[in-house]
Chains A and B, each alone.
Chain A
Amino acid sequence: MNSVIPAPIAGLPWRIMLILTAMSIFGASVLYSAAGGNFDPWAGKHLMRFFVFLAMALILSRLPMDFWKAITFPVYGAVLILLITVEVTGFVSGGSQRWINIGFMNLQPSELMKPAIILAVAWFFDRLPPSKISTMDALWPPVLLLSLPAGLVLIQPDLGTSLAIIFGAVVVAFLAGLPMRWFVGAGAAMVALIPLAYFFGLEEYQQRRVLTFLDPEADPLGAGYHVNQSAIAIGSGGFFGKGFLKGTQSHLDYLPEGHTDFVFATMAEEWGMIGGLALLFGFFLIFKWGLNVAVNSQTRYGQLVAAGMTCTIFFYAAINLMMVMGMAPVVGIPLPFMSHGGSSMLTVMICVGIIMSIERHPGTRLGQFG
């Protein structure tokens, strides 16, 4: 193609960049409204971070597949050490602490573990000879890789992130081709274990959240407050919304966490169902892109990583939206590209950057000798 645009610029993944940028600008506009029509304190930072992280993602996209393979275990090990450090610091200071202050920002190692676990599990399945896929050899290493970080995050306690880590690993294992009966069996076992987990595994505040989820109107001023106010915000928005800057639930502080976990409710109140559908369509395009990258990748590692990263972003979005709409208990999971928050955006953009890298380096088919 004879183009006036220089090749390096023309080679950028413009389509996905545009989708991501559009969603983040939409997110920023919602945060702008949530702050009562101000860029401070959320919208401005949100956009700035997005563009910084987008640049980071484009840099990541230049890194070759071998680089990712090479750093997989060093990264996994480093994040694991950070998780232990957080745990020990928290134990010493006598409280639960999830982050380390590294000078310019507070780093949540558990967030970094989400992409790291996917890299690690994908790396393992890439190395596993296809003949062993139905054997125990295919099972215990990923379980080991998974249980350490998941356990550490769970005792922080951070159920949401812990589930996200488990979800990422399980999806990669599923795509890698572990026998279907194992998943069916594990699923059945989980259903059986839910009551036990509820009574012995959950903290009291978590139990209350589950009860509230089952009957949010039982205690509208107490535990059910978040969900009820969220439903009121979404419900009162109607099909066309109340209009930009005209939400009352968010502006009069009835909606708690309207700029973080419940940002969707803030959006839906002002933009209505139209805004909600537009947002879902945006996510649809992103996931379609991610899964297409996975299918088009010629390497097994690239396939598994791209699909796993996509599913991690999907997990964020799906759980958050279900929670906001009263279909899941309240767990602290933000909505990608919309919620205000550095760590989660960093994670999501790392995922995006790695998927871009895979798109850029589809590799060549190595056959069974890879």
Chain B
Amino acid sequence: MKDPKPVSSAQQRFTFTRRNFFVGGVQAAFGLLLSGRMAYIAVAENDKYTLKAENNRVSLTLIPPRRGWFIDRYGKPIATNRADFRVDLIPDRIVDQSGTVATLRKLLNLSDDDVERINRELKQARGFQPVQVADGLDYDSYARVSVRLPELPGVSPRQGFSRFYPSGPAVGHLLGYVGVVSAEEYQESKNPLLITPGFKVGKDGLEKAFEQNLQGTAGAKRVEVTARGKIVRELATRPDTPGKPLRLTIDVDLHNYAARRLGRESGAVVVIDCLTGDILTMASMPSFDPNSFSDGIGVTEYKWLQQNRRIPLLNKALQGLYPPGSTLKPMVAIALLDLGIDPAETIFCNGGYTLGNRRFQCLGRHGTTNMADAIKVSCNTYFYTMGRRVGYDAIAPVARQLGLGQEYDLPFISQRYGTVPDSAWIKKKYSKNWSQADTLNATIGQGYVLTNPLQLALMSARIASGRMLTPAIVAAKRPVAAALPYAAEHLALVRDGMDRVVNAGGGTGVASRLPLDGITMAGKTGTAQVRGLGKGGGDAWKYRDHGLFVCFAPVNDPRYAAAVVIEHGVGGARAAAPVAKDVLTFLYDREKAMATLQTLESAWGGTPEERMARELSEYQISIGTTSQKTSDNDA
């Protein structure tokens, strides 16, 4: 607009019109710009913002799925879910931790142990991970906490389900337990379900192995909320899909009976179905109560379990390894027959066997003994002699064939498989040669031979059925197992020897004959040395010999096979065989078996639960719960 001459009014009008037009153009440009911007937000990015609006509007609370049940072979529940009330703490929202915990302690009558655990878990918890204060609460406790919520930020009471094991400690080792997801596990998957209060995963045993089957699908509660968090209305709630029940081969009544029958002893009972290989019972005692583990176990209780010399945290049926002792003799007899030894051939037992300048003891002076007698009276001398004649390298394959030292594809995280030694094994392991003494020891189930109770039961089942049964814990239809590669008359001969152990005069197990009409049990006792031969009795508990017993019944048509191991039970006939007798009796006559058990339990001081509770409280008193100093246990 640079103009040397004075500007006229008309020129100004012209300038105005032009500039007015320009202003109108700028306005139109803004109009287009705003339309474009709006189109971009509302149309191009519509999906993104629709989602954001929904995220604003809808607040989603996950409903933890109910865990699938464990049921036994007859459909009876082994692990279920119990409706209960629970109280959790959300660490992020707590204002005054010690005050809140103190108030909760008063309201819920928490023990020192609980408070300790809560404080420990609060210290370890990430901000988003709820810490359980208590579950399995009754309505009154729940209501007491609920009314005081306004003054207790971070406290979250709710209704839910918790895992319940009706059999308590009896199924501790079998099923394992469930627990809150650890911070590490959450970090791996970031699945928000994992940190939903009340959600638990399997931490051990079958609970852990079948986590995927049991978990189910979470439900979701959807509510419309305002910006200030006020709930406007409930939207459609998707219910949870409970996990599928898992049917086990276990007969839970028999299993519970076996666990209780073990009494104050430390040991295991395994019962196998001779037709299928199904594991009917796999009891290991003493045990822990999976209910208290699943509730978040207290420090004291955990420490008590850890310190107990009977190792309640060890599943003895699968993880306990024992020298099988004389329970191996029927197996050795099969090997001898297979190698051509005449069962009628006799050996003279004068109370032992001399190898070089070393004397190998027999437990008696059995005189002239053939194979069947040797099994009946458990004559070491016979087996020393015969074993030495054929050599252990010829016996070991039969031991393996019958299941010893073998690994089984069972869904348990931790199993130990034991040892069936031979000359190649000793060369590899200890770089030395197999000696005659090793043969003698191995022949009577001592020395390097180690088995777990499941393998012993399986050996018994294979001898009884004559089939290559494989053990199974999950119920399923399976093909009939192939026959063992041994002559039927050899197996019959050995089974007859086992029959005479229990049912013939002079047998080592006659005291444990079944108290039933028409049904008899065949078996074999075993006593496994813990320390030097002949010091089995007396002495401190932990130096006593293990008592073992393998058996099957009925003799004429074997249906059930079992193995019983009693740690430091002194002798198989004395400690293990009576347990086997009562367990097999239970299969045929429950009332009779229960009557026996009740008499025994009244002498022992109650059921395992009752005894555990009493021992725990004694322990708590002995260490003084009120002033306990506990280090951080990785419970």
**Chain A interface residues (CB < 8 Å from chain B):** 130-131, 133-134, 171, 174-181, 229, 231-239, 248-249, 252-254, 268, 272-273, 276-277, 280, 283-284, 287-288, 291, 294-295, 300, 303-304, 307, 311, 314, 318, 321-322, 325-327, 367-368, 370
Complex contacts, A234 vs chain B, CB 8 Å: 38, 41-42, 49
A177 touches B15 (CB 8 A): yes
Chain B nearest CB from A138 CB (Å) reads 10
**Which of B2, B34, B45, B232 is in CB contact (< 8 Å) with A252?**
B232
Contacts of A273 in B (CB 8 A): 38-39, 42-43
CB pair B224 A252 closer than 8 Å: yes
Contact of A280 among B19, B35, B45 (CB under 8 A): B35
What are 11 A-B pairs at a CB distance below 8 A? A130-B11, A133-B7, A133-B12, A174-B23, A232-B49, A239-B46, A268-B42, A276-B42, A277-B35, A307-B16, A367-B9
Contact of B1 among A180, A321, A327 (CB under 8 A): A180
Determine the distance from Cα of A171 to Cα of B26 in the docked complex, in whole angstroms: 12
A284 touching B28 by the CB < 8 A rule? yes
Q: Which 10 A-B pairs have the closest CB atoms?
A: A235-B49, A368-B9, A131-B6, A236-B53, A177-B15, A253-B227, A252-B226, A238-B46, A236-B49, A130-B7
**Interfacial chain B residues near A294, Cβ < 8 Å:** 16, 20
Which residues 4-27 of B sit at the A interface, judged by CB distance below 8 A? Answer: 6-13, 15-17, 19-20, 23-24, 27
CB atoms of A131 and B7 under 8 A apart: yes
Q: Flag if A134 contacts B224 (CB, 8 Å).
A: no
A307 partner residues in chain B, CB cutoff 8 A: 16, 20, 23
**Does B226 contact A253, Cβ atoms closer than 8 Å?**
yes
Beyond A130-B12, A232-B56: 4 further Cβ-contacts under 8 Å?
A175-B23, A176-B16, A252-B232, A314-B27
Contact of B24 among A252, A291, A325 (CB under 8 A): A291
Say whether, besides A249-B53, A277-B35, A368-B8, A272 and B23 are in contact (CB < 8 Å).
no
Which of B's residues lie within 8 Å of A, judged by CB?
1-3, 6-13, 15-17, 19-20, 23-24, 27-28, 30-31, 33-35, 37-39, 41-43, 45-46, 48-50, 52-54, 56-57, 224-228, 232
Give Cα A275 to B39, complex, Å: 12
Q: How many whole Å from A117's CB to the nearest CB in chain B? A: 17
How near does chain A come to B336, taking the closest CB pair, in angstroms?
A: 82
A278 to chain B, nearest CB (A): 11
Nearest-Cβ distance from residue A285 to partner chain B, whole angstroms: 11
Complexed CA–CA distance, A270 and B42 (Å): 12
Whole-angstrom distance from the CB of B56 to the nearest CB of chain A? 5
Instruction: Decide if A252 touches B225 in the complex (CB within 8 Å).
Output: yes
Q: Enumerate chain A residues within 8 angstroms of B228, measured Cβ to Cβ.
A: 253
Q: Which residue of A lies closest to B22 (CB)?
A: A174
* Across-interface contacts of B28 in A (CB, < 8 A): 284
A300 to chain B: which residues have CB within 8 Å? 9, 12-13, 16
Residues of A within 8 A of B2 (CB): 134, 179, 181
Which residues of the partner chain B approach A171 to less than 8 Å between Cβ atoms? 23
Residues of chain B contacted by A304 (CB below 8 angstroms): 16
- Hey, which chain A residues are within 8 Å of B39, CB to CB? 273
On whether the beta carbons of A254 and B56 are closer than 8 Å, the reply is yes
Closest Cβ of chain A to B20, distance in Å, is 6
Query: Given A175-B19, A252-B224, A321-B34, are A238 and B9 also a contact pair (CB < 8 Å)?
Result: no
Q: Are B1 and A134 in contact (CB under 8 A)?
A: yes
Contact B16 A303 (CB under 8 A): yes
CB of A102 to closest CB in B, whole Å: 34
On whether the beta carbons of A175 and B52 are closer than 8 Å, the reply is no
A residues in contact with B34, CB < 8 Å: 280, 318, 321-322, 325, 327
Measured in the bound complex, the distance between the Cα atoms of B51 and A232 in whole Å is 9
Q: Please indicate which of the listed interface residues A179, A252, A311, A318 has the most CB atoms of chain B within 10 Å of its own CB.
A: A252
Which of A236, A322, A325, A327 is B50 in contact with, Cβ under 8 Å?
A: A236
Note all chain A residues with C-beta closer than 8 A to B49: 231-232, 234-236
**B-side contacts of A236, CB under 8 Å:** 46, 49-50, 52-54
Q: Give min CB distance, B318 to chain A, whole Å.
A: 54
Q: Which residues of A contact B33 (CB under 8 A)?
A: 327
B37 touches A325 (CB 8 A): yes
Contact between B56 and A276 (Cβ–Cβ < 8 Å)?
no
Q: Which residues of the other chain, B, contact A174 by a CB distance below 8 angstroms?
A: 19, 23
CB A225 to nearest CB in B, in angstroms, measures 10
Q: Are A291 and B20 in contact (CB under 8 A)?
A: yes
B389 to chain A, nearest CB (A): 87
Max chain B Cβ within 10 angstroms of own Cβ: one of A181, A234, A288, A307: A234
Contacts of B232 in A (CB 8 A): 252
Q: Are A177 and B16 in contact (CB under 8 A)?
A: yes
A284 touches B38 (CB 8 A): no
Question: Closest CB-CB distance, B32 to chain A, in whole Å?
Answer: 9
The CA-CA distance from A136 to B63 in the complex, in Å, is 77
Chain B nearest Cβ from A130, distance in angstroms: 5
User: How many Å lie between the Cα of A370 and that of B13 in the bound state?
Assistant: 13
Given contacts A175-B23, A232-B56, A248-B53, contact A280 B31 (CB under 8 A): yes
| Cβ contact within 8 Å between A175 and B16 | yes
Q: Are A232 and B52 in contact (CB under 8 A)?
A: yes
* Assembled-state Cα–Cα distance A288/B228 (Å): 43
Among B12, B41, B228, the most chain A Cβ lie within 10 Å of the Cβ of: B41
Chain B's closest residue to A129 (CB) is B6
The docked-state distance in angstroms from the alpha carbon of A249 to that of B226 is 9
Among residues of A, the one whose C-beta sits closest to the C-beta of B49 is A235
Given contacts A177-B12, A325-B38, contact A235 B20 (CB under 8 A): no
Q: Which residue of B lies closest to A327 (CB)?
A: B37
Please give, as numbers and ranges, the residues of chain A lying within 8 Å of B227 by CB-CB distance: 252-254
- Given the complex, which residues of B lie within 8 Å of A280, measured CB to CB? 31, 34-35
Say whether B8 contacts A130, CB under 8 Å.
yes
Q: Which residues of B contact A272 (CB under 8 A)?
A: 42
A287:B19 contact, CB within 8 angstroms: no
**Which single residue of chain B is at the shortest CB-CB distance from A297?**
B16
With CB as the reference atom, state the residue of chain B lying closest to A272. Answer: B42
Q: Which residue of B lies closest to A287 (CB)?
A: B27
Q: Is the CB of B30 within 8 A of A318?
A: yes
Closest Cβ–Cβ distance, residue B616 to chain A (whole Å): 49
A276 to B8, CA, bound (A): 44
- Within 8 Å CB of B45, what residues of A? 235
Question: What CA separation (Å) do A249 and B56 show in the bound complex?
Answer: 8
Cα–Cα distance between A134 and B225 once the two chains are bound (Å): 63
Kindly list chain B residues whose C-beta atoms are within 8 Å of the C-beta of A175: 16, 19-20, 23
Q: Measured between C-beta atoms, what is the minimum distance from A46 to chain B in Å?
A: 23
